Structure 1
Amino acid sequence: MRLIIKKAIYIFISILVICIVVAITRINLHQPNVQTSNACNTVNSPSCVPNGSVPISPTPNFNIPQTDKERFLSAIASHLSNIPQPGSYEYILLKAYGAVFINQLTTVKLPSNVLLNNEQETQTFQNNLTMVKIEGTNDCYLQAIAATALNQARSQQNIPLKSGYGSGDCTRTFATNLRFWHKYANQHTLDKVKQGQETAILSTVAPPGASQHLWGLAIDLRISNQQQRKTLNEYGWFQTVVNDVPHWTYLGLTESDLVNLGLVNKVEKGISYWVTPL
């Protein structure tokens, strides 16, 4: 009889333990997957959710641009309809003259491609620009915001144009761009540029349809001292084509902005250029 009673007690205790375990498991299954923290009591804290709960850390976003090249390509994507493929003629032009495409000002107009193919395309683009004359010149015009910035810089420093007065230093026609190209190069040179076999010429003259001067955002200046350069930089003007010393480009940004958007500072013969990271 005692043996039967002991067995009954054992069975009863076992059943009770099983019931308790099942009950605890059901309770845990209904608990939300959060970690509580008494320190999370700031209403506007971005890391907190109501009732002091801290959400599990999200997966890191690896799409955030990290390298100079990634930041640059991200910055210019809103301007170009298609980013040129490495090795293409357009990519070569983007590398040489593409610094201007990081411009973030809505009042600046840029073409949707790095190359204007003919006079008609160039005129169509230029006809939609708002142009302002550079003070003290005969017929030198730039996009309004670029011209205004240059006029302000020139009001503080003596900053002469390369030629002293002319339109050739400022916004150019396709025909003028072509004429300058023929002055320094020919079709054979252009073929070599397209094949990636010749790049040095790009510091002397831009191929037809590729000049920043076509966009009303470049000017050739005669600069002789650092104070002139400093003033131009303060108004958003920078040198962007290595070894093309007279050439200045309106970027409309500060030097720290240029770094954040992926441009690289390159010093050549004592002159600081801001170039693409391609």
Structure 2
Amino acid sequence: MPPKKLFRNKSLLSVCLFLLGGGWLSLGFPGPAKESAATVSPSNPTIAPAPEATDNTAITTRDRSLFEQNLPSGFPLPEASDWVAQRLLKEHGAVFVAQDSVVHMPSVIFAHAEDCAHWQAQVSTRREKIGNIPVELQTEAMKALLAARQEAAQKNLRITPRGTWAARRSYRDTEKIWSRRVLPGLAHWQQRGKLSAQEAARIRGLETSSQIKEILLLEAQGLYFSKHFSKSVLSSASPPGASQHIAMLALDINEHSQPTVRAILARHGWFQTVISDLPHFTYLGTTQERLPALGLKKTVKHDRVYWTPA
């Protein structure tokens, strides 16, 4: 039987994505040629607050969620049509309400490597060598990490980075990690007869924003791109330009399976904020008791606590 071709039936295909925590977004999808490009929020390469919202995009405080009210002043919320950025903010956006004088990324996703590099160059950071691995984080995040490591050492425990990409990542780094999920996934689903060779090649050749959208649309059909093809790629990787590691407020650690280590990190403002990304911790710069007031909700999964936008 020939491989199934996804997204070719103009008249019948309607894609439903679970995007906003309990809400399903239905997308009328006339075909990849017309709907291949994702709408990505424009990035701002400076640290200065974004311009005031125009009349067309302004949202009153009453209409905003508690999480949205705690976003940095002038932070540009994704347009209603930009469901990719909306989903990223919903699933990976806890970092945008981090406290303790940290510097936030100016948008949900950087569209260009140059803008990303320019922004990173302006942020105050601190570098340390931990376990022979260079680690670079925003200054306040590094101070908190070192304090957590000191507390752990007093209990004969360790907190160490998980590889050379454990902390700061460039835009190019996030491209490489994304490709490590997408390319094997396309090959896997082609071998399983769920994608034609032509369709897989087309998606491989797309520019970044269009490819992100296509991959998430495939996942809406049950073709997942995680390492074992069993869940969303967003459970273990971010699209290029959208990683918390770009903000230098995230760290992957080796000892993530130890409850005592997770508790120590939490006492120093480090929390898990991406559900099912087991090694990944985010510096939020405040106490666990304060997180609900920032618009974050607690999710317990397999005895781990995650904090994500409510």
TM-score normalised by structure 2 residue count: 0.62
**Residues in 2 aligned to 1:84 and 1:246: alpha-carbon distance in whole angstroms:** 31
How far residue 79 of structure 1 moved from its aligned partner, in angstroms, is: 5.5
Q: Is residue 174–residue 214 contact of structure 1 (8 Å, CA) maintained in 2?
A: yes
* C-alpha RMSD over aligned residues: 2.3
How far residue 91 of structure 1 moved from its aligned partner, in angstroms, is: 0.5
Higher RCO structure, 1 or 2 (CA under 8 Å, sep 6+): 2
How far residue 241 of structure 1 moved from its aligned partner, in angstroms, is: 0.3
1:111-260 maps to which residues of 2 (within 5 A)?
111-136=105-130, 137-157=132-152, 158-163=158-163, 166=164, 168-186=165-183, 187=203, 190-193=212-215, 195=217, 197=220, 200-222=232-254, 223-260=256-293
Q: Is residue 79–residue 111 contact of structure 1 (8 Å, CA) maintained in 2?
A: no
Q: Which residue of 2 aligns with 1:93?
A: 88
**Residues in 1 aligned to 2:277 and 2:170: alpha-carbon distance in whole angstroms:** 20
Whose helix proportion is higher, 1 or 2?
Answer: 1
Match of 2:299, SS state, is strand
Paired residues, number: 209
**Residues in 1 aligned to 2:232 and 2:287: alpha-carbon distance in whole angstroms:** 28
> Structure 1 residues 155, 65: CA separation in 2 closer, same or farther (over 3 Å shift)?
farther
Structure 2: give runs of 5+ residues left out of the alignment.
Answer: 1-59, 153-157, 184-202, 205-210, 225-230
Amino acid in structure 2 at the alignment position of 1:213: H
**Residues in 1 aligned to 2:151 and 2:267: alpha-carbon distance in whole angstroms:** 11
1:54-93 maps to which residues of 2 (within 5 A)?
70-78=65-73, 80-85=75-80, 88-93=83-88
**Residues in 2 aligned to 1:263 and 1:176: alpha-carbon distance in whole angstroms:** 28
Q: Is residue 134–residue 150 contact of structure 1 (8 Å, CA) maintained in 2?
A: no
Structure 1: give runs of 5+ residues left out of the alignment.
Answer: 1-62
**Residues in 1 aligned to 2:303 and 2:62: alpha-carbon distance in whole angstroms:** 31
Identity, % of aligned positions:
28
TM-score normalised by structure 1 residue count: 0.69
**Residues in 1 aligned to 2:159 and 2:114: alpha-carbon distance in whole angstroms:** 33
